[in-house]
Chains A and B, each alone.
Chain A
Amino acid sequence: MIPIEHILLLSAALFTIGVLGVMLRRNVIVIFMSIELMLNAVNLSFVTFSRGMDSMTGVIFIFFIIVVAAAEAVVGLSIILSIFRTRKTLNIDEFNILKW
Chain B
Amino acid sequence: MLIIFYIFAALSILGGLGVLFLKNPIHCALSLVGTFFCLGAIYVMLNAEFVAVIQVLVYAGAIMVLFLFVLMLLSSKDTEQYANKWPIGKILAGLLSLGIFVQIASLFTAGKLQLGPKGAYPLEVIEEVGSIALIGVYFLPIIFCHLKLLQSSCSLPLLAQ
- Proximity string of chain B (93-120) to chain A, C-beta cutoff 8 Å, 1 when within and 0 when not: 1101110110011001100011110100
A residues less than 8 Å from B51 (CB atoms): 43, 47, 59, 62
Interface residues of B in 58-96 (CB under 8 A from A): 58-59, 62-63, 66-67, 70-71, 73-74, 76, 78-79, 81-85, 89-90, 93-94, 96
- Which of B13, B29, B89 makes the CB contact (< 8 A) with A17? B13
B residues less than 8 Å from A91 (CB atoms): 78, 82
B93 contacts A51, CB within 8 Å?
no
B104 contacts A12, CB within 8 Å?
yes
B residues less than 8 Å from A53 (CB atoms): 113, 116
* SS class, residues of chain B in contact with chain A: helix
* A7 smallest CB distance to B (angstroms): 7
B28 contacts A30, CB within 8 Å?
yes
B residues less than 8 Å from A69 (CB atoms): 59, 63
Complex-state Cα separation, A67 to B121, whole angstroms = 24
A residues less than 8 Å from B79 (CB atoms): 27, 90
Complex-state Cα separation, A15 to B66, whole angstroms = 22
| Number of residues from A at the complex interface, CB < 8 A | 74
A19 contacts B100, CB within 8 Å?
yes
Complex-state Cα separation, A98 to B151, whole angstroms = 24
Complex-state Cα separation, A88 to B29, whole angstroms = 21
| Number of residues from B at the complex interface, CB < 8 A | 84
B12 contacts A21, CB within 8 Å?
no
Q: B156 near A: Cβ within 8 Å?
A: yes
A residues less than 8 Å from B32 (CB atoms): 33, 36-37
* A9 smallest CB distance to B (angstroms): 6
B16 contacts A37, CB within 8 Å?
yes
Complex-state Cα separation, A53 to B153, whole angstroms = 36
Knowing A12-B101, A47-B46, A48-B46 are in contact, say whether A24-B90 is a contact too (CB < 8 A): yes
Knowing A36-B63, A71-B149, A73-B66 are in contact, say whether A2-B48 is a contact too (CB < 8 A): no
* A22 smallest CB distance to B (angstroms): 9
- Proximity string of chain A (1-22) to chain B, C-beta cutoff 8 Å, 1 when within and 0 when not: 1101111111111111111110
Knowing A9-B108, A67-B148 are in contact, say whether A24-B20 is a contact too (CB < 8 A): yes
Please name 5 further chain A to chain B contacts, defined as beta carbons within 8 Å, in addition to the given A10-B13, A16-B101, A27-B81, sorted by A numbering: A20-B94, A34-B19, A37-B35, A44-B39, A81-B74
